Structure 1
């Protein structure tokens, strides 16, 4: 990191730094969300409800893959920021080298295991209930498993290039990727008629482009934390601590995978395939919100990690407080959109399928009523990670799972399909209040520490 960047992090007003880092991060995440929306729109309109159900059915497996990428990326980004904040450039370079080597290893191992067990995976996901859904699910999952290297690689590039002080550069790359994804989806799905396989191929081609550009960047003179081929050797002692900083990100994605699996299972128990498709529409919409708030939190991460490493409690408290206020405002605005215009959102994915539109409208209203609390959980978990408070962040993630298991099992006994939709927002409300309490306590401690520091 350049001396100018370090000086900016130490001296510029927190609000100015916040928007400098958050806007590109949010823009990047929104474009990634656009990938998701575009896939859903093309699949729903040109392939059908059974294809939407197929994506939803296999996505828990993909989320586990994404979770590993998030663990590596978040752990590396946090570790590198803290090391650079402490002036340890060589150790930061070692962490970057470890990141590249770990991603490469996972990109080879994961598809070999997944493809070999794909029939077992489909059976566990309950895909046997509908032959049409199973066929589409097998095609989509096979391609996405083979592309695990670039799925994880793209995540790392977005985190690490932004951390290297180039948020605008990675934003441009992601925007170009999003536009390319639209064009490729149209070509593969509409023109060639490849169905879900075409949508998966479009996504992976874009992820490959972004991964390659990011990898080239860190070997180029433009990188502030530049590495060479000779640096690509494992540093075993630092790997556990780096991955440990990102474990909450993995648990968050694993938690989403489990929740999605449990929802699909219960929807098939109390409803039918069309209910899974309706839930998929709500899931696509929720994914855009999650990525938006996730982008905000990730934009805060370098600021929080640097302030932690540089022992600046006042700036740490200001950044955290400001970020929470912005997150709440965004969450309330999106909640209003979902509650007032669910029919319009459903039509975007379902086209003229009236049955799916009605079911999706109901799912949107019920399943997404607790967005502000969901936002508090996302920002809270990532903020606690960025401040190296890993155990506290893990409690938030694990608490959601522990409460949701009985909620998803019991509530549908009385309310059927609607009970499946309402279980998660109820749990998010409880966990969100708990996370807010933890953050409030941390803010008080930071303010007390800043007063002590100033007095000294």
Structure 2
């Protein structure tokens, strides 16, 4: 990757890739958050409950795109670190094939099983009707949703981080304007939110494809790049599988929480959980952006066998993630009513329950960011299996907490399950990453690096 220069400091390389990645993730997250803001103010508690019930199903699309984008991105950067442009281009072509095939497969899956997945979470009444309308819009547009999710990572690893960010900014702006038009002016409700999102995602996916077919792309695409390679396909899926599992984990955990909140609380509890989830998502997007910005240089340095640079980059990412996480937790606890008011300011019971959820559900939030970094680190150095173990562990370790704590503590146990399980997983994930970084030998001769 020509853009990573040997004379460039670790801090500068990290910032140059991470800042656009963080901006892209925040902008990408605005799809969900802006939807939540408009839905909360125009449709109230039922709308927030419905969108939180629909989200676990939609997360399949986002996770599939992230799997392809991150898996192919790591593979592309590794090949470019080895100066093998032909193989990097072939990895990009096979990623495009996966977007199309997996997108069609998810459309079929949602058509046959989407409604059942909503029912399993307790979707009934007005909230259930809203959620069904929201999901129906995505069924025929899964390829665009997957493509839009993968696009920024593929473009960024083509050495165009600024263009990747610009794509996501454009998509978020389109989504915001259309949300206002469809929900606020035309009264389309939750279906309007879905249509706005799909139109924005389609724009991003089409523009990304146009970029790769243009002269501005470093790699570019040709018919030869679309030759199916089992090795490329399997490597992309293996390297990115932890990202898919992470999103599936999030979706499954949201679904389980929705069910338990309905059982031990009420629809108000689910709506409060939606608000707390949006606030958690803001930090998660920052942490994910940091880890994704870390990925191209770490993959490159690993391919170059510059192990000391790998260590420095990962440590810098951890420091930034911890500072941001603790700061966000403090801000939420100091000004809870102000941030809750972004989504709803007139339902006293909802505001009170969301405030309670912030205190119990988010106190160990910064550890979630470190877990993401550990997973992306292992993926970046070609250890997709270990990244997958961490992602699976993130899901499995919550299950006993969700089973036992509500029985002991009732509604408060549902709120506490995630933060307590995060503490346990962080001990394992960070220990494994530290051990891996410590065991990797530094090269015998290396120019001094300033960070």
Trace 1:51-70 onto structure 2 (pairs within 5 A): 51-70=47-66
User: In 2, Cα distance between the equivalents of 1:186 and 1:368?
Assistant: 30
Name the residue aligned to 1:401.
395
Query: Which one of 194, 212, 217 corresponds to residue 218 of structure 1?
Result: 212
Give the superposition deviation at 1:307.
Answer: 0.7
Trace 1:262-411 onto structure 2 (pairs within 5 A): 262-411=256-405
Give the superposition deviation at 1:365.
Answer: 1.7
Aligned residue for 2:341, secondary structure, equals: helix
Is the aligned partner of 1:74 residue 2:66? no
Query: Which one of 4, 11, 33 corresponds to residue 37 of structure 1?
Result: 33
Is the aligned partner of 1:249 residue 2:247? no
Structure 2 contact 72–92 (Cα < 8 Å) conserved: yes
Name the residue aligned to 2:172.
178
Is the aligned partner of 1:16 residue 2:12? yes
Query: Which one of 107, 113, 119 corresponds to residue 115 of structure 2?
Result: 119
Structure 1 contact 338–368 (Cα < 8 Å) conserved: no
Aligned residue for 1:349, secondary structure, equals: coil
Give the superposition deviation at 1:403.
Answer: 1.9
User: In 1, Cα distance between the equivalents of 2:111 and 2:153?
Assistant: 28
Give the superposition deviation at 1:59.
Answer: 1.5
User: In 1, Cα distance between the equivalents of 2:195 and 2:344?
Assistant: 22
**TM score, norm. by length of structure 1:** 0.95
Name the residue aligned to 2:104.
108
- C-alpha deviations, 1:68-122, integer Å up to 9, x for none? 2221111100111111111111111111111111111122222123123333233
Give the superposition deviation at 1:445.
Answer: 2.0
User: In 1, Cα distance between the equivalents of 2:232 and 2:201?
Assistant: 28
Give the superposition deviation at 1:52.
Answer: 0.8
Structure 1 contact 62–145 (Cα < 8 Å) conserved: no
Structure 1 contact 331–371 (Cα < 8 Å) conserved: yes
**TM score, norm. by length of structure 2:** 0.96
Larger helix proportion of the pair: 1
Is the aligned partner of 1:139 residue 2:133? yes
CA RMSD of aligned residues (A): 1.6
Name the residue aligned to 1:5.
3
- C-alpha deviations, 1:186-211, integer Å up to 9, x for none? 00001000011111111111111111
Unaligned residue ranges in structure 1 (runs of 5+): none
Structure 2 contact 68–150 (Cα < 8 Å) conserved: yes
Name the residue aligned to 2:94.
98
Name the residue aligned to 1:231.
225
Name the residue aligned to 2:442.
450
Unaligned residue ranges in structure 2 (runs of 5+): none
- Between the two proteins, the alignment pairs up a number of residues equal to 447
Give the superposition deviation at 1:453.
Answer: 5.2
Distance 1:169 1:119, change over 3 A: closer
Distance 1:402 1:121, change over 3 A: closer
User: In 2, Cα distance between the equivalents of 1:49 and 1:227?
Assistant: 47
Structure 2 contact 79–88 (Cα < 8 Å) conserved: yes
User: In 1, Cα distance between the equivalents of 2:166 and 2:234?
Assistant: 33
Structure 2 contact 305–443 (Cα < 8 Å) conserved: no
